[in-house]
Amino acid sequence: MKIWEPYLQSQFQKSLFFICPKEHGIGAVMQESALKEHDIETPHGVLHVTMRGVPKGNRPVILTYHDIGLNHKSCFNTLFNYEDMQEITQHFAVVHVDAPGQQEAAPPFPSGYRYPTMDELAEMLPSVLTQLRVNTVIGIGVGAGAYVLTRFALNHPSLVEGLVLIDVDPCAEGWIDWAASKLTGWTSNLVDIIMAHHFSTDELTDNQELIQTYRLHIAQDINQDNLALFCGSYQYRQDLGIERPIVGLNEHTVNTLTCPALLVVGDTSPAVEAVVECNSRLNPTKTTLLKMADCGGLPQVVQPGKLAEAFKYFVQGMGYRLEPIKMCFHTVSVCVTPQHDSQAAFPLLTHSNSVKAKRENCTVKGPKVYNVACSLLAVAPSATEMHWILSDQIKATSEQCCQHDPFSSSLSCLIIALQFPMFSSVT
C-alpha cells in the first residue's frame, strides 16, 4: 500500500507542501499560503480583512491594524516582505485588518453614514476572530491601529497574547491638537495633517522620496471621504484610561494591559512623547520600550530589519520557538505525534519512548534519507499539533505503517511512509 501526496492533502485539511533542494535554504519547505480576502459582518459594520495561511495548532495568529492615511498594504508590506520577518511568519498565520473604507478600491460610504468610534472599531475584532476561527492573537498596530488593538486587549484580555504597539498614543486628543486642526482647516489640508502625524519636520524636508511616495498614496489611493471619517474618529478618541499597577495594592484591579507589550517609536518621531507616556502607564514587568535610533515615523517602513529582529525576540520571550524550516530528501518516512507547543522539539529523532518503539516496525528503501528540521506543516482535526520527525533508521514497510488511523487520539505515535516517485520508491 502506498500513500500519495493527495492522501495527505485530504487528511491534513488540504495543506499543500513544496519540497525543494536543501541548498535553497529556509524557503525549501513551506505551506502554500495564498492570501484570502474576507468581508466580515460585525456589530458595527463590515470589516475587510486579508488572511495569509491558516492558524497553526495552539499558536496565536498575528493580527495587524494600520494607522490613518494607510491601509494594510502601505503600512505593513515593507515589514512583512522583509526576509527576517518572513522567517518568523512561517510559524504563524497573519490577519491584516483594514479599517472600514480604507482598503484599496473601497467604495464611498453613503450619505449620512456614521463611522464607528475608536471603541467600536475595537469591538468589531471579536467577530473577525470568531469568523476566521482564531483563538488568540499577537497584535501589531501603528498609530490609530495601535490604539484600537490596545482597547481590544483591555476589553478582551483572554483573546490577546501580546501586543507590538508602534507610535501609540493612549491619551485623548489634546487642546493643542484640536486647535491646530481647526485653524489649518481639517478638510482642505487633510493630507498635510496626516503627513505631519506620520513624519517629523526633518523627515518632511530631508527624505523627499519617501515623503512623496506616501503623500501621493494618501491623496490618490485612499478614498478621501472615507479617510476623513476615519481621521475624525481618531480625532475624537477617548483616553484609554490605563494606569501603572502598584504591586500589593491594585495590581489585580487597575485598568491596564495584562499581556506582554513592546512599544516602538523612532527617536525623531512626532509620537515620541505619547509613546513614553504610554510606557509610564503600563506594568514595567510586562512592557518593553524600543526607541529606534536614526528613525522617525513609520519605523516598520524605515527600519524593517530592526523591527523584525525585535519582534523575533518578543515572540521568543513569549515562549514560541522559531526553528528554521528546512527539508531535503529523496525518500522519507514521517512520524506524526500530537504535542503541546511547549513540549515540541522540532527535529527530535528520539523524542519519546513511543517513537523508539515504533521504529522497530518500519523500514525505508531508497538511495538517500535526510534529516528534517521543520515546525508545524499541518494541523490534524483531532490533534493540537502534528510534528514531523524523520529517522534514517526506521524499519518497516509502508504497508505496516498504514494499519493505523492517522487521527486516532489513542495513538501516541503514528508512522506514515511517504513516496515521492520523482526521486525513488518505497516498498
Question: What CATH number is given to the structural domain containing 182?
Answer: 3.40.50.1820
| Cβ-Cβ contacts under 8 Å for 25 (sequence gap 6 or more) | 326
426 belongs to a structural domain: no
Please indicate, yes or no, if residue 425 is contained in any of the structural domains. Answer: no
Better-predicted residue by pLDDT, 22 or 269: 269
Mean pLDDT lowest among 101-115, 124-138, 243-257, 403-417: 403-417
DSSP 288: E
Domain stops at, among 317, 339, 362: 317
| Parent domain of 202 | 32-317
Cβ atoms of residues 82 and 304 within 8 Å: yes
Give one DSSP letter per residue of 261-283, joined into a string: EEEEEETT-TTHHHHHHHHHHS-
Nearest to residue 314, comparing CAs of 286, 293, 295, 341? 286
**Residue 332 shares a structural domain with residue 291:** no
User: Which stretches of 139-284 are DSSP H helices?
Assistant: 144-155, 175-184, 190-198, 201-206, 208-216, 224-235, 272-281
The model scores a pTM over 0.85? no
- The verdict on 309 and 390 lying in the same domain is no
Average pLDDT along the chain: 73
pLDDT band at 343; cut points 50, 70, 90? very low
Residues of the chain with pLDDT > 90: what percent? 54
Specify the range with the lowest mean pLDDT, choosing from 178-182, 257-261, 407-411.
407-411
* Statement to judge: residues 357 and 309 lie in one domain: no
Let me know if residue 424 belongs to a domain: no
Cβ-in-10-Å burial (0-12, 13-18, 19+) of 376 comes to buried
**Alpha helix segments (H runs only) across 42-185:** 72-80, 83-89, 118-123, 125-132, 144-155, 175-184
11 and 158 share one domain: no
Q: What is the spatial distance between Cα 80 and Cα 75, in angstroms, rounded to a whole number?
A: 10
Question: What would the mean pLDDT of 153-174 be, rounded to a whole number?
Answer: 94
Same domain, 249 and 332: no
Hey, is 244 helix, strand or coil? Answer: coil
| Confidence at residue 188, expressed as pLDDT on a 0 to 100 scale | 54
The amino acid that residue 40 corresponds to is I
Contact yes or no for 219/189 (Cβ under 8 A):
no
**β-sheet bridge partners, residue 48:** 39, 98
Nearest of 228, 235, 117, 119 to residue 174 by alpha carbon: 235
Query: Beta partners for 31?
Result: 17
Q: Is residue 427 part of a domain?
A: no
Higher pLDDT, 169 or 386: 169
What local confidence, expressed as pLDDT, does residue 417 receive?
A: 30
Does 323 fall in a domain?
no
* Domain closes at, from 317, 341, 365: 317
Domain finish residue from 297, 317, 337 = 317
- Which of residues 326 and 132 earns the better pLDDT score? 132
272 and 408 belong to one structural domain: no
180 plus 313 within the same structural domain: yes
Q: Is residue 25 part of a domain?
A: no
In a domain, 322, yes or no: no
Whether 294 and 360 map to the same domain: the answer is no
Q: 174: pLDDT confidence band, cut at 50, 70 and 90?
A: low
Q: Are residue 242 and residue 104 in the same domain, yes or no? A: yes
Question: Could you give the number of structural domains in the chain?
Answer: 2
Say which residue the cell 522617525 belongs to.
296
Say if residue 361 is in the same domain as residue 292: no
In this structure, the answer to whether residues 75 and 159 fall within a common structural domain is: yes
99 and 174 within one domain: yes
Cβ–Cβ < 8 Å for 32, 15: yes
Residue 26 domain flag: no
Residues with Cβ within 8 Å of 64's Cβ and at least 6 positions away in sequence, in order, are 72, 75, 76, 94, 95, 96, 97, 139, 140, 141, 145
Burial of 8 (0-12, 13-18, 19+ CB in 10 A): buried
**Residue 7 pLDDT:** 36
pLDDT at 57: 85
